[in-house]
Amino acid sequence: MTIKNGEVANANDILKILKGTMITNIKSLQNGDVKFSKDYFEGVGDAFTDANGRRNTVDIDNTTATFEIDRYKCYSNPSYIYVVLPSDFITLNTGSVILVTHTADISDGDNIQYKLCNATLDVDIGRSSYDNNSHSVSEDDTPHAIFFKPDGTKMYVAGTTNGKICQYNLSTAWDLGTASYVKYLSVTSQTSYPLGLFFKPDGKRMFVASDKIYQYNLSTAWDLGTASYVNSFNHNLGGNAQGIFFKSDGTKMYILYGTSIYQYSLSTAWDISTASYDNKSLDISGQDGNMCDISFNSNGTKMLLIGASNDKVYQYSLSTAWDISTASYDNKSFSVSSQETNPSGLYINPNEEKMFIVGTDNDTAYRYTLDLNPRVETINEETGYVDMGERLTFSLSNIPNCAIIKLVPSVAGGGTPSIYGYWIHKD
C-alpha cells in the first residue's frame, strides 16, 4: 500500500511492519493518547528534555494538550532509524522535529542526516523461500488439500483416490520432517472427491468442499476418530468446489469453484446450514485457469491462491477486509515448480510465517518461509542535516505523502554515534 497524507491511522502498525526488515533493536511505538512507559528510558533519564528544557521522563504517560502528539523513542547505536509520523501530524502543513541524544556521544561537527520519504510499503510474496522441509503424504496418493492444528502439532490432508482425510502428528511443531501418520476418516458416504478442507479453530468442527460443503463434528478436538457427519450446504455451482476458507469468526465463507471465488455469510457462526450467498464473487481466470486452493491472512486484507497451470501462489489485496468484491491481483506471485508441478493444496499458519503446499505429482507436503511483511521501498524525497538537539522545521506540503523520516547519525571525527531518542511536536 502507499501511505498517503493523513492515512496512517496507527503508527504502531507501521512500526510492526518495519520490525525485522529495516530496523534493529526496535520496540513498539504507541500512537494517539498512549505515551511510552518509563522502561523505555532506562539508562537515559534526565537526558530527555524538550526545546525549552522541560524534562519528560517523570510523567511520560501523562497526556496533556501541550504534548498532544509528542512521540518518544530510545535506540542503542543504530546505523539508522525510521521515525513514523502519526496521522494527526502529517495532516499539518508544517511541523518541527527536535532530536535529543545522549551528550556523551556528541561533539562539535556531529550531526544527523535526515531524509523525508515518500514511502511505499510493499508486500511481495515473491520474497518467500523453500525451507527444504517436506513429508510424503502417500497414504492417499491424490492429495488435494492440507490443514494444520493452530499450534502446528497436527496435519490433515484430504485425498481423492480413496476419499480419505488423513491425520498426522508432528513431534516438532510445523516441522514436516517430524510428521508421522496416525489415522484417517473416510468421507465416501458423502463424497469421493474431498477437494477442500477447513477446521474451526477449536478443532471440533471440520468442513469438506466438494459437490457440496459437508460439515462434521469432532467430539474430541482434532481427533478424526471422533468425527461424525452433521449436514451439508448445497452451493449449486455445478460441480466440485476446489477450495474453502472461513473468516476467523466463522461468519463468512469463501468457496473456490472453477475460476471464481464466491462469498457467503453465516447468520450463525460456523453453521453452514445458515449460509447464504452475498452476491459477491471474484473472477481469477486472468492468473491461472486451474486454481486449486485459497487462503487469507489473519485480517482479511490479503488473499493467496495456488494454481496448477503455472505452479504458482498468487497474491491479492482486499481494499475492504473480507469483502471479495474489493479484491484485486497484486501482480505478485511465487513459484513452487521446483518442488511440485501439480500443486493442489495451500495453508498459511496463524502467525503468517510459514506456508505449506501439497501436490498430486509427488504426493508430498512442502514447507516455505512466507514473507508477507511490507517494506519501505522508496526513499530520498528530500535530504538535509540537523545538529544534535537542534530544531528542524520542514514543510509537509512539499511532500504530501511523507509519513516516515529516516535519520542517519554522523560523527565528524569518526566512530559510531547513538540516537537515543527524538521528539515530534506541533510547530
**What is the C-alpha to C-alpha distance for residues 83 and 283, in angstroms, rounded to an integer?**
40
Q: Evaluate if residue 248 carries a pLDDT over 60.
A: yes
Here the cell at position 364 is 508430498
Q: What is the mean pLDDT of residues 422-426?
A: 43
pLDDT of residue 124: 83
Select the more confidently predicted residue: 236 or 2.
236
What pLDDT does 268 receive? 97
- Residue 8 pLDDT greater than 60, yes or no: no
User: Sorting pLDDT into bands at 50, 70 and 90, what band is 260?
Assistant: very high
pLDDT digits (tens, 9 = 90+) for 46-88: 333 333 333 332 222 332 222 222 333 333 344 455 555 544 4
Integer angstrom CA distances of residue 281 from 47, 257, 284: 57, 10, 10
User: Mind listing the pLDDT tens digit for each residue in 159-169?
Assistant: 999 999 999 99
Query: What span, in angstroms and rounded, lies between the C-alpha atoms of 153 and 182?
Result: 12
Residue 73 and residue 421 in contact, taking contact as beta carbons nearer than 8 Å: yes
- Is the pLDDT confidence value at 45 over 90? no
Find the range with the poorest average confidence among 62-71, 311-320, 329-338.
62-71
Rounded to an integer, the average pLDDT of 128-147 is 95
Torsion of the alpha carbons at 28, 410, 414 and 390, rounded to the nearest 10: -100
Q: What is the pLDDT of residue 315?
A: 95
> Does residue 111 register a pLDDT over 90?
no
pLDDT for the residue 351 = 86
Band (pLDDT 50/70/90 cuts) for residue 33 is very low
Q: Where are the domains of the chain?
A: 11-123+376-425, 125-372
The cell numbers describing 40, all together, are: 523505555
Please give the model's pTM, rounded to 2 decimal places.
0.69
What does the alpha-carbon distance between residue 292 and residue 258 come to, in Å, rounded to a whole number? 9
- Position 156 confidence tier, pLDDT thresholds 50, 70, 90: very high
pLDDT the model gives residue 385: 59
Model confidence pLDDT, tens digit, residues 368-383: 998 776 655 544 455 5
**Confidence grade of residue 121 (pLDDT, cut at 50, 70, 90):** low
Q: What local confidence, expressed as pLDDT, does residue 313 receive?
A: 97
pLDDT of residue 221 exceeding 60: yes
Query: Could you tell me which CATH class the domain 11-123+376-425 is placed in?
Result: mainly beta
Q: Domain 125-372 carries which CATH code?
A: 2.130.10.10
